[in-house]
């Protein structure tokens, strides 16, 4: 907290630092109330899930109450006089709606005056979003696992790693989303989410990866194996970890697939569907291993990759995925061929490998996997405004982007106090890339090369 207050004070001023300090105090006081409440309820009822949920509720309510109490203590005399004029309304509400109506009435009045501000209950928007996401996850776990009765104790490590991953992902996403260009893209892209072409764009970018096929079949197959191997593994692992999906077996040799407490499917234990359920993670492990091997071969043989790659950013995620896949297959090998020999040790090794990968994922190259759906917004933005009003280059007249995108680039640069104008009065964002490069040459040579109507030698090159 002290470090956060100091950094906020240095970068954003005393007011922001004071707000963060107050939010931290509210949160820590609420945490103390949460611990006390959870222990008291646990001793009284013996139900750990009920005590945990009630403790979280007290945590939130106490922080909210502290913020409201401080606002009341700081109210000027005018607010007290205004309250006396509203006594008649208060009496009517008490008679007609009872105590719950009075609470709602009070919160509405406080909300209108700005005294009730949810942002003040947390140290930052990141803390607020993570808290909301973790609470939503806990609620889904409570509902899907039938009141926490179908949680596997052996999978608790994966659960903790996932919660930490959520915090890291929100941090990475918010750091990216707060940039001016990203805010424009998200705001306008969300408005266009219901375009007729959205399903086709989503299938192209998220399912078949046709944009990678244009770069070559090798890279396409590599991404299909890696991407879908990881996604299918997540679809199998996370429902099992959080108790959303589990299996029961009847006396007649039939497996029942249960999802969120609902019997979804009954299959014979020796059928091919059951075989796919048993070996789903083994199949995805072979997919990931194949994709990793193809990626490593390309990075060793491709000259451009050799010049640009680094170990931490390019090789480390591949090694982590390879290690997870191999240790997962070794668990199956131990059960089938070694009758469980070495299974406990290998299970811990595999679990720690997954946890470390979840901790690394939001901050490395693999972060593009959960953020990939946002590419649909970018494609909708480009296609919609490109069809509405194309932008012609101020020099050569070639249409290169949409007029909306050109204006957005100019606006973003103005927000950052950056002005890039030519001597003719045009902004660089209004020039196509070849003319932009020619203008840079003219600034070095003194020759107006950007006004020469000639294409570059590699202007139409592909790749």
- Provide CB contacts within 8 A for 15, sequence distance 6+: none
Q: In CATH, what number is assigned to the domain containing residue 315?
A: 1.20.950
What confidence score (pLDDT) does residue 357 get? 92
Residue 450 near residue 395 (C-beta atoms within 8 A): yes
Residue 292 near residue 325 (C-beta atoms within 8 A): yes
Domain boundary pick from 375, 407, 439: 375
Co-location of 369 and 393 in the same domain: no
The pLDDT confidence band at residue 90, using thresholds 50, 70 and 90, is very low
Co-location of 325 and 220 in the same domain: yes
Q: Is residue 197 assigned to a domain? A: yes
Q: Considering its fold, how many domains does the chain have in total?
A: 3
Mean pLDDT value of segment 421-438: 81
Q: Is residue 285 assigned to a domain? A: yes
- Is the pLDDT at 430 greater than 80, yes or no? yes
Co-location of 229 and 144 in the same domain: yes
Max distance between CA atoms of the chain, in angstroms, equals 88
Q: Is residue 380 assigned to a domain? A: no
How many angstroms separate the CA atoms of 142 and 148, rounded?
Answer: 5
Co-location of 305 and 371 in the same domain: yes
What are the pLDDT digits (tens) for 257-310? Answer: 888 888 888 888 888 888 888 899 999 999 999 999 999 998 888 777 777 888
Question: 254-259 and 262-268: which strand pairing?
Answer: antiparallel
Mean pLDDT value of segment 229-243: 91
- Is the pLDDT at 330 greater than 90, yes or no? yes
Co-location of 440 and 345 in the same domain: no
Q: What is the mean pLDDT of the chain?
A: 79
What confidence score (pLDDT) does residue 73 get? 54
- Is the pLDDT at 54 greater than 50, yes or no? yes
Question: What value, to the nearest 5°, has the Cα angle with vertex 259 and ends 255 and 260?
Answer: 140
Co-location of 185 and 272 in the same domain: yes
The pLDDT confidence band at residue 371, using thresholds 50, 70 and 90, is confident
Mean pLDDT value of segment 423-448: 80
Q: Is residue 458 assigned to a domain? A: no
Q: Is residue 119 assigned to a domain? A: no
- Is the pLDDT at 221 greater than 50, yes or no? yes
Q: Is residue 242 assigned to a domain? A: yes
The four Cα atoms 355, 359, 365, 367 give a dihedral, to 10 degrees, of 100
- Is the pLDDT at 220 greater than 90, yes or no? yes
What confidence score (pLDDT) does residue 287 get? 95
Q: Is residue 100 assigned to a domain? A: no
What are the pLDDT digits (tens) for 336-361? Answer: 888 888 888 999 999 999 999 998 98
What confidence score (pLDDT) does residue 33 get? 80
- What is the percentage of the chain residues whose pLDDT exceeds 70? 78
The pLDDT confidence band at residue 106, using thresholds 50, 70 and 90, is low
Residue 280 near residue 232 (C-beta atoms within 8 A): yes
Which among 124, 116, 158 is positioned nearest to 243, based on CA atoms? Answer: 158
What are the pLDDT digits (tens) for 397-421? Answer: 888 888 888 888 888 888 877 777 7
Pick 319 or 46 by higher pLDDT: 319
Query: Which domain covers residue 286, as residue numbers?
Result: 139-375
What confidence score (pLDDT) does residue 77 get? 41
Q: Is residue 234 assigned to a domain? A: yes
Co-location of 210 and 292 in the same domain: yes
What confidence score (pLDDT) does residue 140 get? 86
Q: For residue 267, list its beta bridge partners.
A: 255
What confidence score (pLDDT) does residue 146 get? 79
């Amino acid at each position: 907290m002290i470090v956060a207050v100091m950094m906020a004070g240095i970068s954003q001023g005393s007011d922001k630092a004071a707000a963060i300090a107050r939010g931290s105090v509210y949160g820590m006081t609420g945490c103390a109330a949460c611990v006390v409440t959870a222990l008291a309820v646990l001793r009284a009822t013996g139900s750990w899930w009920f005590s945990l949920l009630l403790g979280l509720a007290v945590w939130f309510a106490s922080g909210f109450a502290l913020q409201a109490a401080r606002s009341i203590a700081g109210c000027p005399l005018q607010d007290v006089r205004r309250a006396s004029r509203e006594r008649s309304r208060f009496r009517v509400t008490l008679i007609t709606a009872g105590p719950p109506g009075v609470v709602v009435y009070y919160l509405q009045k406080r909300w209108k005056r700005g005294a009730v501000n949810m942002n003040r209950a947390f140290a930052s928007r990141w803390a607020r979003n993570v808290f909301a996401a973790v609470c939503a996850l806990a609620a889904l776990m409570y509902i899907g696992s039938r009141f926490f009765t179908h949680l596997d104790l052996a999978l608790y490590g994966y659960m903790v790693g996932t919660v930490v991953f959520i915090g890291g992902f929100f941090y990475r996403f918010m750091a990216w989303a707060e940039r001016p260009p990203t805010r424009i893209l998200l705001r306008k892209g969300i408005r266009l989410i219901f375009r007729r072409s959205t399903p086709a764009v989503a299938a192209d970018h998220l399912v078949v990866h046709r944009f990678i096929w244009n770069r070559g079949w090798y890279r396409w197959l590599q991404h299909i194996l890696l991407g879908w191997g990881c996604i299918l593994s997540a679809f199998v692992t996370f429902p099992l970890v959080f108790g959303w999906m589990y299996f029961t077996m009847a006396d007649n040799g039939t497996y029942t697939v249960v999802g969120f407490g609902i019997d979804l499917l009954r299959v014979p234990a020796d059928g091919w569907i059951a075989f796919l359920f048993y070996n789903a993670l083994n199949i995805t492990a072979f997919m990931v291993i194949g994709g990793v091997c193809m990626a490593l071969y390309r990075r060793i043989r491709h000259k451009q990759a050799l010049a640009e790659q680094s170990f931490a950013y390019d090789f480390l995620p591949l090694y982590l995925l390879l290690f997870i896949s191999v240790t997962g297959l070794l668990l199956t090998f131990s059960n089938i061929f070694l009758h469980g020999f070495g299974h406990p040790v290998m299970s811990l090794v595999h679990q720690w490998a997954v946890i470390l990968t979840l901790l690394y994922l939001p901050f490395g190259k693999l972060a593009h996997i959960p953020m990939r759906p946002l590419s649909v917004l970018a494609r909708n933005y480009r296609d919609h405004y490109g069809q509405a009003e194309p932008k012609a280059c101020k020099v050569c007249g070639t249409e290169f982007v949409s007029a909306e995108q050109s204006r957005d680039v100019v606006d973003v640069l103005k927000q950052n106090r950056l002005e890039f104008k030519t001597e003719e009065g045009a902004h660089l964002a209004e020039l196509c890339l070849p003319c932009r490069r020619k203008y840079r040459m003219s600034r070095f040579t003194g020759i107006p090369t950007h006004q020469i109507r000639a294409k570059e030698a590699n202007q139409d090159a592909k790749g």
